[in-house]
Amino acid sequence: MNIKPVVLITGASRGIGRASAKVFAHNGYRVVINYCRDQASALSLEQELNASETIAMAIQADISKETDIVRLFQQVDEHFGQLDVLVNNAGIITPQAKIESFTTERMTPLFATNITGLLLCCREAVLRMGPKQQGSIVNVSSIAARIGGPNEYIDYAASKGAVDSITNGLAIEVSDRNIRVNGIRPGLIYTDIHAASGEATRVDRLKSKVPLGRGGQPEEVAEAIYFMASEKASYISGTTIDVGGGR
């Protein structure tokens, strides 16, 4: 009997995570849709995927909380009995601001989700992938990690720089267990994360600076995520690729 692989995608109810869930489902994966607050979107995606003969399950968990992360992975164990791919997509952004206005209250939730939560998800994945000597982790970073986010959100950019460092180090650390760890840096993509930063039309304002002259779509990032997770990238680890239209 051919048992379909299982992917867990954090922050999968919308944007890049939602598009990724559809790509993995199309390629024969059973899909765990993690969400934090948007239950309606997560359940609609679960229903859509199950209607297409994919086995999908939505699980609520706040990635900034260790107890939620542990519960999330335990539920994956209970319902699927395996984990083959983890996509660390969940992340938050802060309103655009310069350094003079930064506070602990602003930065603590950001780092708790984008760095600490991601690391804890990696821990739980490695605990499950290590014993079977197989697995793939894809961390979603940002072009901001290279550019630095000046005048907008250098704290967010710093959190994504940390993601790149985690990808590099963890790939080496778990290579002896045949676990591959890679990253994706999306550029200007049409998702609602820009509204959370205080400028919903940010992509349209800046797209002229992109060599390809346009903003990207979540599906374009999702295809890159799937490639890095799949056996087509079986000899790639510790690598982060840009999906930014040449930027």
pLDDT in tens, 106-141: 999 999 999 999 999 999 999 999 999 999 999 999
Strands (E), 1-80: 6-9, 30-35, 56-60
Q: Is the pLDDT of residue 193 over 90?
A: no
Q: What is the mean pLDDT of the chain?
A: 96
Q: Cα(206)–Cα(217) distance, rounded to whole angstroms?
A: 15
Domain assignment of residue 1, yes or no: no
What domain count does the chain have?
1
The enclosing domain of 232 has a CATH number of 3.40.50.720
Q: What angle (nearest 5°) sits at the alpha carbon of residue 50, between those of residues 44 and 56?
A: 85
Q: In this predicted structure, what is the pLDDT of residue 2?
A: 72
| Stretch (H or E) spanning 185 | strand 179-186
Classify burial at 119, counting beta carbons within 10 Å of its beta carbon; exposed 0-12, middle 13-18, buried 19 or more: middle
Q: In this predicted structure, what is the pLDDT of residue 192?
A: 86
Going from the C-alpha of 124 to that of each of 74, 76, 95, 145, the distances in angstroms are: 9, 11, 30, 25
Q: Is the pLDDT of residue 1 over 70?
A: no
Going from the C-alpha of 58 to that of each of 55, 79, 149, 180, the distances in angstroms are: 10, 11, 33, 25
Q: In this predicted structure, what is the pLDDT of residue 198?
A: 83
Domain assignment of residue 112, yes or no: yes
Chain segment 145-176, per-residue pLDDT in tens:
999 999 999 999 999 999 999 999 999 999 99
**Which residue range is the domain that position 50 belongs to?**
6-242
Domain assignment of residue 247, yes or no: no
Q: Percentage of the chain surpassing pLDDT 70?
A: 100
Domain assignment of residue 165, yes or no: yes
Q: Which two tokens stand for residue 122?
A: 């990696």
Confirm whether 29 is a catalytic residue: no
Q: Catalytic residue, from 29, 35, 153, 156: name it.
A: 156
